[in-house]
Structure 1
Amino acid sequence: MSNSTTPGEVDHNLYGYDPSKTAAYAFVALFVVSGFLHLIFIFTLRAAFFIPLILGSAMEAGGYYCRAWSTANTHNILPFVIQGLLILAAPPLLAATIYMTFGRIVRNLKGEVYSLISPKWLTAIFVLADVICLATQLAGSVLRASDDAATNKRGSGIVLGGLILQVVIFCLFAILASNFHIRFGRIENGHIALPWVKHMVVLYTMSLVFIIRNLVRILEFTQGDDGYLVTHESMLYVFDGAFMLFVVVLLLFVHPGGLFKAARHAMLMTVLGLSNEMAPISASKR
């Protein structure tokens, strides 16, 4: 039995259940492999803007490694705090990549005039909001680790505020993206065909995944420490781990770097006079 006087430990199971070492290590491996593949794509597809996603994948892997570490002693505070902090704070980094992807889609299609907000400001605004979400969730997670009930409650409120803000941000993002999609899709002049529509669909899909994930997290915090979502480990893996892994893997199969590479090639051909196509690039839906 754990001794409550042992430094760095408490006298009860911090999770309320025995975390699965197998599941934790499985997600460590999955996030490491997918993150490494994205690292390769950074060089092959000139996709440096995917660095936040790689960092987020590393944080996810680190979080699940700490859960595996906790299986040896569920009374140990350090791995419990670190895993909670990393798993909660990693998604905003993945979200930042999504925002930057949309801005680059608009620019590469030469469709700035069809976006309600300039791509430059669009990316800056959403990434700044994402940084605020990240900061609030990190700060709240640190406060939640306190033994003081009032401080712990304040930390939960801060994390909850960050999650709600992120839901609002993704809803606004989806509105802006769909507005661009509709307006740009009405273009009839220009005939340079690029498969841009499937990348927009991917953005919508990932936005929905993030919104559902955050809504579940909000419900988790409102239920409290004795709620169903907190006391059942499967909920974490289904609505957080699997959801975030889906985002990372989906971007491996439909990487926007391929679209941007094709767009750069098309514009180069136009500049060299080897093509009669002119921007804006056509709204091909193939």
Structure 2
Amino acid sequence: MAVNGGTHSSHQISITLGTIFCVLAIGHFALMWWLKTWMMVFIIAGCILEVTGYLSTAAGYGTQSVQVIVAPIFLSTSVYMSLGTLIKRMDVKDFIPFRTASFCFVLGNVVSLGLQIAGVVLGKVQEDKSLGTSITIAGLAVQLVQDLAFFTTTIVVHKKFLKSPFFESGKGVYGWKNYLMTLYILTSLFFVRNCFRIVQFGIGWNGYVARQAAFAYTLDGLLMVIAMTMILFIHPGLVYSRLKADPLLEHTSNEL
């Protein structure tokens, strides 16, 4: 049965998602502080946006909360930066400067964030929503390109790592092999979510997909919960700590 905004079911789901993201934010903050992985602050910011967005939805402001729509940009920023730090610590920088790669991904997210905020706000304040919708879709399209570029970059990095002598640090739950597999899954989840949002806005603010809140709860909220839970348990800070145990690896202590 479809879950429509304003129903009792929608209210309960929003409260549940808001609570889950609150717990995830606390968990990520604790690990960030413990492991000193400061680039994970963007994930915490994203989780907080998810919390405020779903609470506003529960309060009856609909499922098109600006916070929920832009939150994945913050979530993905930490994911992008975590790979840059892993490249630095593995000392595999010959294929592309890791700072340049991280900068490009973060810059793309900034552009996407600006477009999506502008588009959603225009869509809410203007009677003719076509301009706002087009701008929002453009911002989401930037994210899609980012997802594909990051997935490709991860593949290139994976191939480089497989040729490195640091096999021991690649083993186990917190080895770099498992973390790269996690990045593949996370990027795929972001990609599916962004495809859904493009379809949703493409059909229109009052289209079938936008009116059926179940789509947003499953193809956005649930996917982001899965993504943030995965990176909480396969945390990059724990992967970096695993690298320290490899005697062959010349570990650098500076954070990205």
Q: Which secondary structure state, in structure 2, belongs to the residue aligned with residue 183 of structure 1?
A: helix
User: How far is the alpha carbon of 1:230 from its aligned partner?
Assistant: 0.8
1:108 aligns with 2:108: no
The separation in 2 between residues aligned to 1:279 and 1:128, in whole angstroms, is 30
Q: Which secondary structure state, in structure 1, belongs to the residue aligned with residue 182 of structure 2?
A: helix
Long gaps (5+) in structure 2: 252-256
From 161, 171, 187, the equivalent of 1:207 is 187
TM-score for both structures, normalised by structure 2: 0.89
The residue aligned with 1:242 is 222
The separation in 2 between residues aligned to 1:254 and 1:17, in whole angstroms, is 34
User: How far is the alpha carbon of 1:213 from its aligned partner?
Assistant: 0.6
Contact 1:27 1:241 in 2 (8 A): yes
The residue aligned with 1:64 is 54
Aligned length: 243
Percent of aligned pairs with the same amino acid: 24
1:31 aligns with 2:8: no
Contact 2:4 2:214 in 1 (8 A): no
User: How far is the alpha carbon of 1:278 from its aligned partner?
Assistant: 4.7
1:264-286 CA-partner distances (Å, limit 9, x unpaired): 454xxxxxxxx5x2559xxxxxx
From 90, 107, 110, the equivalent of 2:71 is 90
The residue aligned with 1:165 is 142
1:168 is aligned with what amino acid? V
1:146 aligns with 2:136: no
Contact 2:243 2:249 in 1 (8 A): no
User: How far is the alpha carbon of 1:16 from its aligned partner?
Assistant: 7.1
Distance 1:65 1:191, change over 3 A: closer
Distance 1:190 1:207, change over 3 A: closer
The residue aligned with 1:255 is 235
User: How far is the alpha carbon of 1:35 from its aligned partner?
Assistant: 0.6
The separation in 2 between residues aligned to 1:279 and 1:214, in whole angstroms, is 38
Distance 1:37 1:122, change over 3 A: same
The separation in 2 between residues aligned to 1:219 and 1:90, in whole angstroms, is 18
Distance 1:165 1:204, change over 3 A: same
Distance 1:148 1:231, change over 3 A: closer
Flag the structure with more relative contact order, 1 or 2, with Cα contacts below 8 A and sequence separation at least 6: 2
The residue aligned with 1:50 is 40
Long gaps (5+) in structure 1: 1-14, 71-78, 267-274, 281-286
Rg larger for? 1
The residue aligned with 1:193 is 169
Contact 2:6 2:62 in 1 (8 A): no
User: How far is the alpha carbon of 1:221 from its aligned partner?
Assistant: 1.1
The separation in 1 between residues aligned to 2:142 and 2:167, in whole angstroms, is 40
Q: CA RMSD in A?
A: 1.9
The residue aligned with 1:270 is none
The separation in 1 between residues aligned to 2:169 and 2:162, in whole angstroms, is 12
